[in-house]
Amino acid sequence: MLKQIRKFVKRYKLARGSIDVDRLVKIIEQHGYSILKFNRYKNNPDIESILELLNLTETAKDSPSFIYADTIYRILFILNGLSDDEYEILYWHELAHIVLEHVYFPHNSIKEENDSHRFVMFTKAYIAGKHIMKYLLYAAAVVMIVFALTIPPNNDAENLPAFSTAKKAYPSGSKPVSVTAQPDKAPIPTVVPDLISTPIPTSTPSPIQNNVSTPAPASTRSPKEAADYAGEKFSASEVVYVTKTGDRFHKHGCFHITNSSALMDLPINKALASKYTPCKDCYRELY
């Protein structure tokens, strides 16, 4: 019976919409049956003549609905004046007889009546299950869409707490190079300052200074005294950097000469002989 139910539901697409009395009537008519409504005791002459011709007058007095089929007629007789709910029950019952091919006139056996009842019950349950499954799939799809729209992707770095903290702490002028996560602690960013990019001279330069502008300490020597002290502390081959317009000599990478286009390198003894004095930021140890 389950196979017949599946075939029946699929053929008439019953799982796609509601099944009312009009829908049942159309399915019955698609099986080639005419529907005649009769009264128990008094009918119009046409209905009465058909009942008499087919020997169904007594059957009409006992049954609210029945089907008749032979080589000429296919008729579903149903009592006139019933409610929509009663018509729906009777149409379902007689349609089950038609689908299960209980079509010989007119009295069905008890087994066939039970089979018809079971067919209707199982078909309605099958259709209801189809509808429930469809709604569950729709609900699952909606939940997945809402979840995808409300949860940010894991690779969205700007939404991560560690990135936001580092960005606020170091808005510009520094490069966050790594973020190390520690258990139960906020990630600690480590920062490497930008380096001065200047041409590398052919001679060996002094160690590169970071481009960090901090105030020079209070002077204890004058520039002339600092120059004399530099002549004593450094060897004559020490390389320093000067500009044509300035009067100080610097170490490589000093921020005072970053943008200079006329940078020259000199041995420190020549710089001192040319009356250059040490830069207070490069040579703090001389002041």
CA 66/CA 76 separation, integer angstroms:
6
Residue 159 is predicted with a pLDDT of 53
Residue 260 DSSP code: -
Residue 195 is predicted with a pLDDT of 47
Q: Closest Cα to residue 61, out of 79, 47, 75?
A: 79
Q: Closest Cα to residue 287, out of 203, 224, 236?
A: 224
Residue 275 is predicted with a pLDDT of 79
Give the H or E element holding residue 57.
helix 57-62
CA 28/CA 94 separation, integer angstroms:
9
The beta strands (E) that lie in the chain are given as 34-38, 65-69, 74-79, 174-182, 185-193, 239-243, 248-249, 263-267, 277-278
Q: Closest Cα to residue 270, out of 244, 225, 235, 236?
A: 236
77 close to 60: Cβ distance less than 8 angstroms: yes
Residues of the chain with pLDDT under 70: 17, 103-108, 131, 133-135, 138, 152-219
For tokens 């990135």, what's the residue?
163
Q: Report if pTM > 0.85.
A: no
127 close to 18: Cβ distance less than 8 angstroms: no
Instruction: State how far Cα 150 lies from the chain centre.
Output: 8
Contacts of 161 (CB under 8 A, 6+ apart): 186, 187
Contacts of 227 (CB under 8 A, 6+ apart): 272, 276, 277, 278
Handedness of CA 155, 158, 161, 165 (dihedral sign): positive
Residue 73 DSSP code: -
Amino acid, res. 214 = T
Q: Which residues pair with 136 in a beta bridge?
A: none
Residue 224 is predicted with a pLDDT of 80
Q: Which residues pair with 65 in a beta bridge?
A: 78
Residue 219 is predicted with a pLDDT of 58
CA 135/CA 15 separation, integer angstroms:
12
Give the H or E element holding residue 143.
helix 110-150
Contacts of 120 (CB under 8 A, 6+ apart): 92, 93, 96
Helix, strand, coil content of the chain in percent (nearest 5): 45, 15, 35
